[in-house]
Structure 1
Amino acid sequence: MTQTVSIADLMSLSGVTFGTSGARGLVSAMTDRICFAYTCGFLQHLENIGQFAPGSHVAIAGDLRPSSSRIMAACAAAIHHKGGHVDFCGFVPSPAVAAYGFARGIASLMVTGSHIPDDRNGIKFNRNDGEVLKSDELGIRAQNITLPDLFDDEDMLGEPTPLGPLIDVATAYVARYVDAFGTEALRGLRLGIYEHSAVGRDILVRLVEQLGGEAYRLGRSETFIPVDTEAVRPEDQALARQWTSELNLDAILSTDGDSDRPLLADESGTWIRGDILGILCARALGIKAVATPVSCNSAAELSGLFDTVSRTRIGSPFVIEAMNNLINAGQVTVCGYEANGGFLLGAEVRLENTRLSALPTRDAVLPILAALVDARRQDVSLSMLQRQLPARYTFSERLQNYPTAQSRALIAHLEAGSEAEILARLTATFGGIAGEVDGIDLTDGLRIHFAGGDIIHLRPSGNAPELRCYTESDTSERSVANNAKALEVVRDLVIG
């Protein structure tokens, strides 16, 4: 017996909703029926806008979480149900499967929960020509789906759907960067690869070796590790310092779980902040128009490197929308980057003897390689490369297991009333940390500007029950200290 269901209703009932990077939820809630329905909703939306029809191919890949294979099979079953063909790309980075789809003008999806713990997972959808935007999310949410009678009492498929023969997309992804930078680009560099459970760990090793560097494999894990590039774990900070010292490394390369967000440590084992890495990459590529979320380091403007810096809400769909606006306004070299380090190349760029085509989805490889190549070209260390930028330092941390409803209630309380009332309340709440508040920015969450130049930014996470806190100051130590103090204030704050 078939059943017609609304995607909007399923999102409400299951708790598997759209965040900043696709549909995310608890693995226990991401049943085969839910994943099947969401994939059908995605394909129906594409059909409505002329990007899918029976007979079309759809590429699938996944990360290394235990639940990813099952969810990929459920998504594949939905593609077959809608008359499509599955291009099974295996377990590869999100940007690798996206690049494969963009090059062929077909839709793609990546089963990944990115950096969050493996009790959660997600599905990241890509159109034929780019990531899904917020308008596409609304289109998917609006779909009504007729589900076939394939699911048992626990909403699981009885028989897993074969994914088909493996298509090699990794080779083309590696070649993209070897062709761009050349086989001598990393010659002489001793580079550690912090592998952990990142799906792109072997690709990073291949890239380093094919670009002439010396690769050292470090910290490989067969158990999933939730590496968050915006809030690096203390143990990962300690490991990086230990490895660089013991092995005399020039840098350590790593990524998050689906390898679309970079981690790059300098020669001292200090992880470079993602928003600084974005600036370094854009400078190395000669880009003049940048789109970046409001949470990212203000050194982008203070450096004078860019003709235009367009500030957005947090999330790659907003960055892509801003990049498209810059391109439509006539900007020739355009990129976007996020606080997590993910870099989006909006338009083709010319390098010394080659060109690098656009890849308008979050990518970890390009910012890592661009910074390393630029440092080697200048014959400076990565720490010296960073010191070429204005001295502004950002830091981010989060309160975990902090319900989204509680986060929203907190923000609503802090920003209630007239402007004078808001500034007075914020000064009373956070003045002991950073002094008098002289302005706020409500682009995404609550970004508080203090008269002395410090910034505290509070925002509910779009992916998990967490409250994010971003801080910026003129020293790294002050930014870190302000962050800890702000989270302590929030933790103790009684609302109501």
Structure 2
Amino acid sequence: MAPKFGTSGLRGLVTELTPDLVTGYVRAFLAACPTGGGLQVGRDLRESSPAIAAIVAEAARGAGVPVTECGVLPTPALALAAQRAGQAAVMVTGSHIPADRNGLKFYVPAGEISKAEEQAIQGALGTGAPDADRAPLVEDAGAGDAFRDRYVTAYGGGALRGLRIGVYQHSSVARDMLVEVLGALGAEPVPLGRSDSFVPVDTEALDPATRGMLAGWCADHRLDAVVSTDGDADRPMVADASGRVVPGDILGALTSRALGAGTICTPISSNSMVVDLFGPEAVHLTRIGSPYVIAAMEAALADDPAARVVGYEANGGFLLGFPAEGPAGTLEPLMTRDCVLPIVAPLAAAVAEGRTLAQLVAALPPRFTAADRIQNVPSEASAAFIARLADDAAARAAFFEAGAPERDTDLTDGLRVSFDTGAVVHLRPSGNAPECRIYAEADSPEAAEALVATHFARLAEALRGA
């Protein structure tokens, strides 16, 4: 796969992320976007990340931009450090994709780059920031600590008291920080599954073996929950005491409610029960991808600067657009995907209400989602097949099987088909990997999972047989 630039920055095979290519994109970013006079650089735990981070730093220093090396830390921790410094940032990470791939995520001082800034960077390739006097490099080992302290200050030492929480550490950059945060909030953390090699955990599409492992841990260690993140820790994973994973969009809705949000921005793929929970006037549905969620949040804040705006994605990454009050203090806004807040807020709400996490989830409006992905298929092939379905009602009738006639279609992002039973099946090419995503929604978990399984098999046959 040739390196690709889009919503999640630059991604590609490590062998193709050459020094010249990485330098070219960093120089284009520095030329096309505001930097605040400096660049913060962080990285994940992939074997290839230190060398790529060094190339990023040298490219910026050679363009006369001072670099702050933040080391290994979560992507949202780097974003917070850059926000507080008023500087740009580059995170070296491939997120959840396999270890033979890596990438760069770009941040301007205000946060994640926008779609317009993506285009500006592409336009500046080959004509990027010129050589200049080599700028200095400094190290900041405290950026991760500042991120950790954000939650401890806001939630206090008793927010999670009485909970025994497993931490699936694998190769997440947040694996030690999560243990520290949970312990500081009063829980008893139990570290589990630490790995010396990179594990490509996709929190949105956990395989059956991983789900079984979580359930086994809960039983063996008498846990109240298990938590984890993807590789760069901008997406959460939370399972209840039985090991059942709470979907990211449910975590998002629970976190929104716990924070007292008044405006919720979330992609079209998120569980529609959020509309029942907050009302249609409070919910703004977007295309999939944090830039679209951020654009909706910014529009809401432009209309009302005092609006209590939040955003979240179906993968659980949570964006805070206002100063929110926790049980012990204030959380400053952070409009980039965060994994820690949607882990802590629902668990703290359960403790405060005297409920288990499963009871908290069960009290929500009864709509259920499931998701999976077909890997190693070109995005172009997925897009072409989905476009054919979108244009041909007969082709849709032959492909989809939901036990009822089609009610309507939504082309906001990919093809989302609703059926007379209320079931939904949504197909979408990934914007950052050679994958095709399948989402489903129904009135029971079993029905949603069955819809995904049925259409996974059909889509795999169609794409791989093309």
Preserved CA contact (<8 Å) 1:427 1:435: no
Preserved CA contact (<8 Å) 1:252 1:264: yes
Question: In structure 1, what is the equivalent of residue 145 of structure 2?
Answer: 171
Question: In structure 2, what is the equivalent of residue 22 of structure 1?
Answer: 9
- SS of corresponding position for 1:369: helix
Work out the CA distance in 2 between the residues paired with 1:71 and 1:263: 27
Structure 1 runs of 4+ aligned residues shifted over 4 Å read: 146-150, 161-164
The letter of the residue matching 2:98 is P
Work out the CA distance in 2 between the residues paired with 1:367 and 1:385: 14
Work out the CA distance in 2 between the residues paired with 1:403 and 1:371: 37
Match of 1:213 among 172, 175, 187: 187
- SS of corresponding position for 2:373: strand
- SS of corresponding position for 2:246: coil
Question: In structure 2, what is the equivalent of residue 134 of structure 1?
Answer: 115
Work out the CA distance in 1 between the residues paired with 2:172 and 2:443: 33
TM-score normalized with structure 1 length: 0.90
Work out the CA distance in 2 between the residues paired with 1:144 and 1:175: 38
Question: In structure 1, what is the equivalent of residue 221 of structure 2?
Answer: 247
Question: In structure 2, what is the equivalent of residue 429 of structure 1?
Answer: 399
The structure-2 alpha-carbon separation of the partners of 1:104 and 1:475, relative to structure 1 and needing over 3 Å to count, comes to same
Question: In structure 1, what is the equivalent of residue 387 of structure 2?
Answer: 412
C-alpha deviation, 1:163, in angstroms: 6.2
The more displaced of 118-127 and 346-355 is 346-355
The structure-2 alpha-carbon separation of the partners of 1:42 and 1:148, relative to structure 1 and needing over 3 Å to count, comes to closer
C-alpha deviation, 1:31, in angstroms: 0.8
Question: In structure 1, what is the equivalent of residue 68 of structure 2?
Answer: 87
Preserved CA contact (<8 Å) 1:423 1:438: no
The more displaced of 454-463 and 303-312 is 303-312
Instruction: Report the RMSD for the aligned CA atoms in angstroms.
Output: 2.0
Work out the CA distance in 2 between the residues paired with 1:444 and 1:21: 16
Preserved CA contact (<8 Å) 1:260 1:363: yes
Number of positions where the alignment pairs a residue of Structure 1 with one of Structure 2: 461
C-alpha deviation, 1:475, in angstroms: 0.5
Preserved CA contact (<8 Å) 1:191 1:216: yes
Question: In structure 2, what is the equivalent of residue 111 of structure 1?
Answer: 92
Work out the CA distance in 2 between the residues paired with 1:353 and 1:200: 23
Preserved CA contact (<8 Å) 2:11 2:432: yes
Question: In structure 2, what is the equivalent of residue 259 of structure 1?
Answer: 233
Preserved CA contact (<8 Å) 2:236 2:317: yes
Work out the CA distance in 1 between the residues paired with 2:462 and 2:163: 49
Identity of aligned residues (%): 43
CA-to-aligned-CA distance 1:171-204 (integer Å, 9 cap, x gap): 1111100010001111111011100000110000
The letter of the residue matching 1:38 is Y
- SS of corresponding position for 1:415: helix
CA-to-aligned-CA distance 1:430-475 (integer Å, 9 cap, x gap): 1x33321111000000001111111010000111111100001000
Aligned pair 1:31/2:18, yes or no?
Answer: yes
Preserved CA contact (<8 Å) 1:73 1:163: no
C-alpha deviation, 1:488, in angstroms: 1.5
Work out the CA distance in 2 between the residues paired with 1:148 and 1:445: 36
The letter of the residue matching 2:390 is E
In the TM superposition, 1:394-409 aligns within 5 A as 394-409=369-384
TM-score normalized with structure 2 length: 0.95
Match of 2:38 among 50, 53, 57: 57
Work out the CA distance in 2 between the residues paired with 1:326 and 1:214: 39
- SS of corresponding position for 2:344: helix
